[in-house]
Amino acid sequence: MKDSMKPLSRLETSSIPCTLNGQEISLNVPPAKRLLHILRDDLEMTGTKRSCDIGRCGACMVMVDGVPVNSCLTMAYQCSGKSITTIEGVSAGGMDPIQRAFLEEGGFQCGYCTPGMIISVKALLDHNPDPTPPEIEEALSGNICRCTGYGGIKRAVQKAIEWRREAYESESVHD
């Protein structure tokens, strides 16, 4: 059997190389283990939340290579060679303007959906700094918030767009 066909298995405890919040790590876990549980139980990073377990709520959202995925649907082997960013990584270098916008506009209440929501907003604005309302709607349609009715979230996204634009413009001036 070719090397490429060697199974990654629990018994062989393969290590899966990936980057987590900028740090290169290897995951020594069963290959079908879900990223959600790797983060929360093995790495004790509980900013990523568990809620529905089937990708229908967005509480467990992380970015893999810059795009949002539900960590409850992502198996360890699918992270091999990928770069994972969790909510902890978003604020590693100080609070992101998106996070400040959520604070300022009251884009959260109980806060349980908030890390996943912020991940989705960040993934959106990193790709599309000036999204239209339908684009915002589409990008956030996989994140359920039960508290706010999305009013504060929509205002926070608008504020974040504004702040990021201002930051970009002031950077451009200094260049």
Partner 1 sequence: MAANAQGVAEAPFVWHPATAAEAWQLKQTLGTEGVYTAGGTLLRTQWEAGLAAMPNHLINVGEIEELHGIHIDCESGTGTLGAMITLSDLRTSPLVHASFPLLTEAARSIAAPSIRNLATIGGNVLSLVGDSLPALLIYDPVLHWHDGSNGLQESLSEWLSTAAVHAAWRERLLIAIELTQPALDSNTKRFVAYHKVGRRDAFTPSVVTAALSVQLDSDNRLSDVRLALGGGQTIPHRLELVEQFLTGKIANKKTITEVYALVVEHYEPKGDAFVPVSYRKKAAANLIASELWKAVR
Partner 2 sequence: MLLNRKGSGARWRVRPDGPDKVTGKLAYLTDMTAPDMLIGRVLRSPHPHARITAIRTEQAAAMDGVHAVITHKDVPGLNRFGIANPDQPVLCEDRVRYVGDAVAAVAADSIEIAEQALRLIEVDYELLEVVEDAEYALEDDAPKLHPQGNLLHRNGFKRGDVDAGFDSCAHVVEETYYTPRQMHTYMETEGGLFIPGDDGRLTVYSPTQHGFMDRMQLARILAIPQSDIRIVSSPIGGSFGGKDELNVQPYGALLARATKRPVKLHNSRWESVRVGLKRHPMKISMKTGIDENGKLIAHQAKIIADTGPYATLGAEVLNFAVEHVIGPYRYENLDVEGFSVYTNNGLSGEFRGFGGNQAIFALEGQFDRLAEKLGIDPWELRLRNMRKSDDPGPFDHPIALTEGAKQVSAAMTASALWQERGNPGRTEEEQAEPWIRTGIGAAFTMHGAGLGFGIPDPAGGRLTLAADGKIEAVFGYEEFGQGLIASLEQMLIEQFGFASQDIRIIIGDTDVVPDSGSTTASRATSMMWKSLQNLRPLFEEAVLGKAAEILKLSASRLRFGEGGVYAIDADTDSSEAECLITYPALAAGCVEPITSTTQFHFPTSATEKVGAHFLYTYSAVAVKVEVNQLTGRIRLLHQYHTVAAGPVINPQGFLGQIEGGSSMALGFALTEDAVMSGGQYLTKNLDTYLVPTIAEHRGTMDVHPIEELPEEDTYGPRGIGEVGSVTLAPAIAAAIYDAVGVRVTKLPIDPELLLAQSIDQLLDKAVSGE
Residue 107 near residue 152, CB atoms below 8 Å? yes
Report the residue from 71, 74, 114, 123 that binds partner 2 according to the rule CB under 8 A: 114
| CA–CA separation, 40 and 107 (whole Å) | 24
Which residues make beta-bridge pairs with 20? 23, 84
Q: Tell which positions 72-91 bind partner 2, by CB under 8 A.
A: 86-88, 90-91
Phi, psi of 61 (to 5 degrees): -65, 135
Closer by beta carbon to partner 2, 48 or else 74: 48
Which residues make beta-bridge pairs with 85? 63
Binding of residue 19 to partner 2 (CB under 8 A): no
The residue range among 51-59, 93-101, 104-112, 157-165 that interacts with partner 1, by the rule CB under 8 A, is: 51-59
Report the residue from 21, 48, 74, 85 that binds partner 1 according to the rule CB under 8 A: 74
Element (H or E) spanning 16, and its range?
Answer: strand 15-20
Residue 160 binds which of partner 1, partner 2, none (CB < 5-8 A, kind-dependent): none
Residue 59 near residue 52, CB atoms below 8 Å? yes
Phi, psi of 25 (to 5 degrees): -140, 170
Q: Tell which positions 46-75 bind partner 2, by CB under 8 A.
A: 46-54, 56-57, 59
The residue range among 18-26, 55-63, 97-105, 145-153 that interacts with partner 1, by the rule CB under 8 A, is: 55-63
| CA–CA separation, 25 and 158 (whole Å) | 35
The residue range among 6-14, 24-32, 143-151, 161-169 that interacts with partner 2, by the rule CB under 8 A, is: 143-151
Which residues make beta-bridge pairs with 83? 19
DSSP secondary structure code for residue 7 in this structure: P
Binding of residue 70 to partner 1 (CB under 8 A): yes
| Site for partner 2, rule CB under 8 A | 40, 44, 46-54, 56-57, 59, 86-88, 90-91, 95, 99-100, 102-106, 108-115, 118, 133, 136-137, 140-141, 143-155
